[in-house]
A and B are shown apart, each in its own frame.
Chain A
Amino acid sequence: MNFHNYEEMAAMILFGIGFTTLLLQKNLIKKIIGFSMMDAAIYLFLAAKGYIEGRKAPIVADGVTQMEAYINPIPAGLVLTGIVVSVSVTAVMLALTVRLYRRYHTLDFDRICALVRKEEP
């Protein structure tokens, strides 16, 4: 077999790991790590798809203006936008985790749910 798309494969595997971590982990911090991995995997995929072998970043240098010399800047732009989005989501999730930890002194989400049910029936 002759594979060329290792990056894409790695991205898909990472996406799977991140997805299941976010879904199944009980620990809230590990959930957030899973989320970060999932989003990073998508950015890896986007960046890998946006790169063309042998071309340069789209900044005109040495007077070369042919389109063929450069890669498409849009995937990189999308990655940047996506990173901004996932940073803000991570911040909100961490803030929620802090509030839950201050209240219940544990990071285990199942235990928190049990405590909440006991506290406010």
Chain B
Amino acid sequence: MELWQSIPFACILLPLGSAAVTSVMNKRWSRYWTMFVLSCLVILCAIFVFKMQAFSGSYTYMMGHYSAPWGNEIRAGMLEAVTALFFSLIMLLSLMGGMKKIEEHLLSDKQSLYYVMLLLLSAALMAQVYTNDLFTAYVFLEIMTLAAGALISARNRGRTLVASTRYMVMNLLGSGMFLLGITLLYDLSGHLLMSNIKEAVAILAADGKYQMPLTVVIALMSIGLGIKSALFPFHTWVPDAYGYSTPTSAAVLSSLVSKGYIFMLVKIYWRVLGVDVIRSTGILDVLFVFAMVGMIMGSLSAIRQNDVRRMIAFSSVAQIGYIFMGLGMGTEAGAAAAMFHVFAHAISKAALFLAAGGLADASGNNKQFRHLRGSGFRSPIAGIAFTIGALSMVGFPFLCGFTSKLNFATAAMELDDIRMLLVLAVLTVSTFLNTVYFLKTVITLYRKPLAGVQYSREKGQRGFCFHTSLVLFSVVNIALGLFSQTVMDFITRGLSYFG
């Protein structure tokens, strides 16, 4: 065991420990400290990706010196390393971009607690990415839910309180189902470590025993995590939670929290239960149908909104549909495309939420489209970042959204039944609908402003951090689009080590 192999453990412990320290700091120091810790996290994750690339494989890291069936383990592979790097990078950039807004929206004595929640959320994300133990995953899942609920209600308004309550209720239903699934699976297999469960489940599947309980387990876990990550019919908490919270919260929630649950689901499908078992139960078809309907309905709801933040929120529902469609295909290519879309959507959505906040500021703090007219000229960098994010979501070439749509189409070509036609048809319709509402917004940004209304100029200038974060988001977006093949290689290699 070499020193660099402890990095995953450090990635969990660093934010967790510093969250405890942050709670006693004043707001200025807690902000600097959080920025510093998150930067360290990004650097650690980057080193780890670099080391893993040379290592090419995966390893388990024993916690507390108890060996396999009893102890708690961390497991690290290529896919985990890349995901952790993206998650920590987006966390850092989202915080940078929304910092001014946090100061404006939050009570000044409560701000350090906001940073505590942000650090706890990072720790929970890292733990979910790296853990090899299902119950640990559940505990950190709940920590993430609590932290996310607090991030929504941090802005003290009636809307956010209601949104937070609704979010908590839906998420508790989801985690209840997930916990019941874990309990049943523990009964069936007698293990909590993922690799041991997989062996036990493979034996059960070969004997043809306990098929019904196994189906129930898969259904409970899939639907539970589906609710938590805002899959279509369970998305009722999304528009309020993303629409009214402070921009950093919205960016973090839409691009990290829901993605953490999806990564957990990928892990459960590929590492815990084995994708062959999952395929034989037919749950994937249910997810597939939900995803298809969600891709259309989410976009249709987005078109009807006249508030830019709510529009982006509904667009998230449609994009989560894309990801679940990839998972629902049940093939390696489908899962790889879904994972790539997790990255692509996270980068673009976080940038869109932050840029929308900046544009609304430049329009006298109004989020309605008629006030946003001409805001692209009033806040040029936010306008350009919004345009890049929107084009990426629509699927403009050289941006990451294009590659992920291409990946989905390629993955669909491997299916040789009616699902291939369905995927291609729904992709086309959904892309068309995306174009309608995103291009409409971009055109609005560069139209002549409303006659007779004057917006103050200073409000649009949100400072160095905001602009740097948006520029970095755009750069990462373009880089992910240009070097998509490298990232796809990492993902496919990572998935192949998953088994």
Taking a contact as CB atoms under 8 Å apart, the answer to whether B173 and A100 are in contact is no
Q: How large, as a class, is the contact surface on chain A? A: 35 or more
Question: Is A60 part of the contact surface with B, judged by Cβ < 8 Å?
Answer: no
Interface string of B120-153 (1 = CB under 8 A from A): 0000000000000001001100100110011001
Question: Is B104 part of the contact surface with A, judged by Cβ < 8 Å?
Answer: no
Taking a contact as CB atoms under 8 Å apart, the answer to whether B161 and A96 are in contact is yes
Interface string of B152-185 (1 = CB under 8 A from A): 0100011101101100110011001001100100
Question: Is A17 part of the contact surface with B, judged by Cβ < 8 Å?
Answer: no
- CB-CB contacts below 8 Å: A1-20 with B: 15, 18-19
| B145 cross-chain contacts in A, Cβ below 8 A | 89
Question: Is B187 part of the contact surface with A, judged by Cβ < 8 Å?
Answer: yes
| B157 cross-chain contacts in A, Cβ below 8 A | 120
Interface string of A11-46 (1 = CB under 8 A from B): 000010011001100001001000100110010011
Taking a contact as CB atoms under 8 Å apart, the answer to whether A39 and B179 are in contact is yes
User: In the complex, A1 Cα to B176 Cα: how many Å?
Assistant: 31
Taking a contact as CB atoms under 8 Å apart, the answer to whether A89 and B179 are in contact is no
Given the known A-B contacts A35-B172, A100-B161, are A88 and B179 also in contact in the complex, defined by CB atoms under 8 Å?
no
User: In the complex, A46 Cα to B183 Cα: how many Å?
Assistant: 6
Stretch of A51-59, A63-71, A78-86 that contacts chain B: A78-86
| B169 cross-chain contacts in A, Cβ below 8 A | 22-23, 31
Taking a contact as CB atoms under 8 Å apart, the answer to whether A23 and B173 are in contact is yes
Given the known A-B contacts A81-B139, A92-B150, are A115 and B180 also in contact in the complex, defined by CB atoms under 8 Å?
no
Question: Is B197 part of the contact surface with A, judged by Cβ < 8 Å?
Answer: no
Contact of A38 (CB < 8 Å), options: B149, B165, B176: B176
Contact of A116 (CB < 8 Å), options: B135, B158, B192: B158
Contact of B142 (CB < 8 Å), options: A89, A97, A103: A89
User: In the complex, A116 Cα to B166 Cα: how many Å?
Assistant: 13
Cβ of A116 to closest chain B Cβ, rounded Å: 4
| A116 cross-chain contacts in B, Cβ below 8 A | 158-159, 161-162
Given the known A-B contacts A85-B139, A96-B168, are A115 and B158 also in contact in the complex, defined by CB atoms under 8 Å?
yes
Q: Which of B142, B161, B179 has the most CB of A within 10 A?
A: B179
User: In the complex, A116 Cα to B163 Cα: how many Å?
Assistant: 10
Contact of B146 (CB < 8 Å), options: A45, A81, A92, A97: A92
| A99 cross-chain contacts in B, Cβ below 8 A | 153, 161
Taking a contact as CB atoms under 8 Å apart, the answer to whether A100 and B146 are in contact is no
Contact of B164 (CB < 8 Å), options: A22, A96, A109: A96
| A45 cross-chain contacts in B, Cβ below 8 A | 180, 183
Taking a contact as CB atoms under 8 Å apart, the answer to whether A104 and B158 are in contact is yes
Taking a contact as CB atoms under 8 Å apart, the answer to whether B142 and A22 are in contact is no
Residue of A nearest to B187 (CB): A49
| B146 cross-chain contacts in A, Cβ below 8 A | 88-89, 92
User: In the complex, A45 Cα to B161 Cα: how many Å?
Assistant: 33
User: In the complex, A103 Cα to B164 Cα: how many Å?
Assistant: 15
Given the known A-B contacts A19-B173, A31-B169, A85-B142, are A42 and B161 also in contact in the complex, defined by CB atoms under 8 Å?
no
User: In the complex, A75 Cα to B187 Cα: how many Å?
Assistant: 10
Taking a contact as CB atoms under 8 Å apart, the answer to whether B165 and A96 are in contact is yes
| A35 cross-chain contacts in B, Cβ below 8 A | 172, 176
User: In the complex, A82 Cα to B175 Cα: how many Å?
Assistant: 11
| A115 cross-chain contacts in B, Cβ below 8 A | 158
Contact of A112 (CB < 8 Å), options: B135, B150, B162, B192: B162
User: In the complex, A35 Cα to B172 Cα: how many Å?
Assistant: 7
Q: Which of B158, B161, B186 has the most CB of A within 10 A?
A: B158
Taking a contact as CB atoms under 8 Å apart, the answer to whether B172 and A100 are in contact is no
Question: Is A119 part of the contact surface with B, judged by Cβ < 8 Å?
Answer: yes
Cβ of A89 to closest chain B Cβ, rounded Å: 7
Q: Which of B139, B168, B169, B192 has the most CB of A within 10 A?
A: B169
Cβ of A28 to closest chain B Cβ, rounded Å: 7
- Not counting A42-B179, A81-B135, A119-B158, a sample of 17 additional A-B residue pairs whose C-beta atoms are within 8 angstroms of each other reads A19-B173, A23-B169, A31-B169, A35-B172, A35-B176, A42-B180, A42-B183, A45-B180, A81-B139, A89-B146, A89-B168, A96-B149, A99-B161, A100-B165, A103-B161, A115-B158, A120-B159
A-B CB contact pairs (8 Å), 13 listed: A19-B173, A22-B169, A35-B176, A78-B186, A88-B146, A92-B168, A96-B161, A96-B164, A96-B165, A100-B162, A109-B165, A116-B158, A116-B161
B→A interface (CB under 8 Å): 135, 138-139, 142, 145-146, 149-150, 153, 157-159, 161-162, 164-165, 168-169, 172-173, 176, 179-180, 183, 186-187, 192
